[in-house]
Structure 1
């Protein structure tokens, strides 16, 4: 696809930035609830740190979103899609699934059945991912260049990170006073309430029928989808537990060699497949089956440079993902109360995160990509190292605020710069599928290794763990020169 063939950027009309900020809220609200807040809850309920690390694998599910992203590109949720179109139909269904899953997590406290807790965490991760796929595809279609991506990305991530941090903080403050169940039920109610303004948006340009019949049929279809998902999770979960038991993996196992071996598999597979893909003609790629076409197009355009690109995106957010897994259990282990952690997250983290996102989105639209990405990696590493500094100090609210602020500012800046960069790598014809693949792969290796974070911290200590996380953030800089030289070849649509 040539530059001339790309869709022209659409100037954001009044309300578009607000809409994407709301969609960011919808996607960001549940994230901490199946990751960092859940890890703190598990620690409070006496779950061993190594097992808490295993729960980080719940976040692996979004990394495989490219497997079902083509469904979002081609199909809609029955009922909803007829009136709202494909993208919003999945956004609406995702919002309902998010509300139901958070409610399920509320009811599993005090985590006496870790299987039940894991089930609802996986369901929440799945529906959050479906919503993100739909939002990302819609965003890239509306704004395919850097100048228009910057403001929309900033608005979307503002909403995302604002909700993520505010909910994470609010749950802790409520949990300290009214218990974990109440802490989870409140964001479940917020998620359900967010369904209303999205359902009130206007009919799609190609839509037909009435709003009320569309909502009724969409609610029924969403319930059926949730039941089907529950069955898939139950079957897959049982199979994985049986496999782990068969090969001797348990709470006290050293899983790092297994994880590093698994991390190499996709790179080896790509190295074997790329020569055959590159030899195919543009017409053959365009005529390939719909589920595979977006991914064949990506590797056809970038060739072996795709391996370098994917290695870079795997490392870029590595430190943030690893730190996120154990940050709250670490701070709690230092002696800080749920209230102190919640206040730091609610005031300092929110302000620092918003400032980081704003700076990252602004500079991504104005600076060369290499400069913005390099600064983001440096700031992310500083945020990781801040936890090492915090652990060496006596309990102090200002110290907790400073470490939290450094972490959240760096995370927000790097996140905004990274989203803009990934968005410009995709072919807009396959926007949702290719962005899902790139953003999912970006977190595959970090989330895979995060499952062993608890075992590493138990063996070497928290300080060594956060030093490692920061160093890995800086390691991404080694890939910047070849990444910035990578150019796609033209020809496939």
Structure 2
């Protein structure tokens, strides 16, 4: 291997590893957790409520500025700020998985929810740190394409592989062993990062930095668990007082909440557009990075937000009930796990590879359109599966189509969101845009159980595919959106 190829290979391997770290836990607080709850007799409506755990990543903009601004004690002093946050998040992920393993009988659903929230938080924090680093290193579509492809290959490999391994182990050895196995995998990249050379501005010794960083991590994790438990108890009490339970039809309320961000932004935009560079809205370290998005795009920001909300909505809705649908058709956990491992991984990687090639060869709007069509066809593949006799070939075909579309749409979407970001605020703005992109879909996903109870599995997945295509109606408007030049 020549001198030029070696750094490129190392960079590729680094981004694959970072993607692997971020993708490993996701299904374990979403799809796999839904199957685990169903396996313990929890109703679909309550399982739908658990989909709201995945709302946490949509609010990552609330703490993303902290990741940009502050450093993790110990880790950052030696390895640098970005790697320090990544190392902290990996330890948080491993600790949360162990907690979910210990409580795998799900005798206390609030306790299961508490540790699922912890897992979602640390997974999201890892993504925030990684995304900020990626955008800093690659500010153009041409440079983003290869890095995004490498990152998503690792992400999708871990996402699908972890789901597959967890289900097979759960069928053979129980849910506790399955979650502990993934916890061991989750902590595996940590020593690799700890063995890496000191950062450009790092100082001190490796051992001292590692010791201080691990101690600080333990304090941070314990504090977060305590705060989350208190907030969760208050929310459960308020829901009980409001009469919300498993029989409540929450869909109309959720749809009303979904409209609020657009209404509030429409009211605020005239004030934002008039703001000068020294205005407190734009100069504020807390909200300035977010205001900048709407200052630059103006009213086109409303079309952009509508587009990004619709683009992945079908996949997010399908994610909640896809595995319960397949299990209800008569497939075992092992059969589902093998389909995920044998077919889904290859199909997902192929979808990501095609997306990476497309964004370098064609205009981004055309790549976005192709991704939306692939996602819709993948969702409708589950409708087709529901009408087939139970069989390996049908399961593999439907799973492959679903994961190919998901991987292709996801990769193109990451590049599109990255191009909307002002390089002045990479971490915060990407967190805002990617978070909002999944806010409305995940709000609706929490009502997916109630929706399925009214229209059935087949109707639900027809709807999911249709919502993926609905984004194409807005695409011509966002394709013409141009950002205002920065006046600072």
Contact residue 285 and residue 492 of structure 1 kept, 8 A: no
Secondary structure of 1:461's match?
Answer: helix
Change in CA separation of 1:287 and 1:55 when aligned onto 2, cut-off 3 Å: closer
Q: Give the counterpart of 1:311 among 302, 306, 309.
A: 306
Distance 1:358 1:227 in 2: 40
Q: 1:167-206: per-residue Cα shift (whole Å, max 9, x none)? A: 1000111111111110110010111122110111221111
Q: Give the counterpart of 1:17 among 12, 16, 26.
A: 12
Contact residue 329 and residue 386 of structure 2 kept, 8 A: yes
Contact residue 285 and residue 296 of structure 1 kept, 8 A: no
What is the aligned partner in structure 2 of residue 243 from structure 1? 238
Counting matched residue pairs gives 483
Is 1:358–2:353 an aligned residue pair?
A: yes
What is the aligned partner in structure 1 of residue 209 from structure 2? 214
What is the aligned partner in structure 2 of residue 440 from structure 1? 435
Q: Give the counterpart of 1:224 among 215, 219, 223.
A: 219
Q: 1:53-94: per-residue Cα shift (whole Å, max 9, x none)? A: 000000000000001100011101111111111111110000
Distance 1:280 1:270 in 2: 15
Distance 1:428 1:127 in 2: 24
Q: Give the counterpart of 1:333 among 328, 344, 348.
A: 328
Is 1:400–2:400 an aligned residue pair?
A: no
Q: Give the counterpart of 1:124 among 104, 119, 138.
A: 119
Q: Give the counterpart of 2:467 among 468, 472, 491.
A: 472
Where in structure 1 do 4 or more consecutive aligned residues deviate above 2 Å?
Answer: 11-14, 282-287
How far has the Cα of 1:252 moved from its partner? 0.9
Is 1:74–2:69 an aligned residue pair?
A: yes
Contact residue 281 and residue 287 of structure 2 kept, 8 A: no
Q: Give the counterpart of 1:255 among 250, 253, 259.
A: 250
Contact residue 297 and residue 492 of structure 1 kept, 8 A: no
Distance 2:285 2:199 in 1: 24
Contact residue 98 and residue 183 of structure 2 kept, 8 A: yes
Q: Give the counterpart of 2:415 among 420, 430, 450.
A: 420
Q: Which has the larger displacement, 462-471 or 227-236?
A: 227-236
Q: Give the counterpart of 2:377 among 382, 392, 398.
A: 382
Secondary structure of 2:193's match?
Answer: helix
How far has the Cα of 1:13 moved from its partner? 3.8
What is the aligned partner in structure 1 of residue 367 from structure 2? 372
Secondary structure of 2:139's match?
Answer: coil
How far has the Cα of 1:420 moved from its partner? 0.4
What is the aligned partner in structure 2 of residue 276 from structure 1? 271
What is the aligned partner in structure 1 of residue 453 from structure 2? 458
Distance 1:302 1:246 in 2: 42
Is 1:148–2:122 an aligned residue pair?
A: no
How far has the Cα of 1:281 moved from its partner? 1.2
Is 1:172–2:167 an aligned residue pair?
A: yes
How far has the Cα of 1:271 moved from its partner? 1.1
How far has the Cα of 1:311 moved from its partner? 0.7
Q: Which has the larger displacement, 267-276 or 279-288?
A: 279-288
What is the aligned partner in structure 2 of residue 4 from structure 1? none
Secondary structure of 1:427's match?
Answer: coil
Contact residue 277 and residue 283 of structure 2 kept, 8 A: no
Unaligned runs of 5+ in 1: 1-10
What is the aligned partner in structure 1 of residue 3 from structure 2? none
Distance 1:36 1:259 in 2: 21
Distance 1:357 1:14 in 2: 19
Distance 1:157 1:374 in 2: 19
Contact residue 314 and residue 442 of structure 1 kept, 8 A: yes
What is the aligned partner in structure 1 of residue 26 from structure 2? 31
Is 1:483–2:483 an aligned residue pair?
A: no
What is the aligned partner in structure 2 of residue 187 from structure 1? 182
Q: 1:268-293: per-residue Cα shift (whole Å, max 9, x none)? A: 11111111111111343696121111
Distance 2:206 2:280 in 1: 39
Secondary structure of 2:424's match?
Answer: helix
CA RMSD for the aligned pairs? 1.2
Contact residue 390 and residue 403 of structure 1 kept, 8 A: yes
Equivalent positions of 1:88-167 (< 5 A) are 88-167=83-162
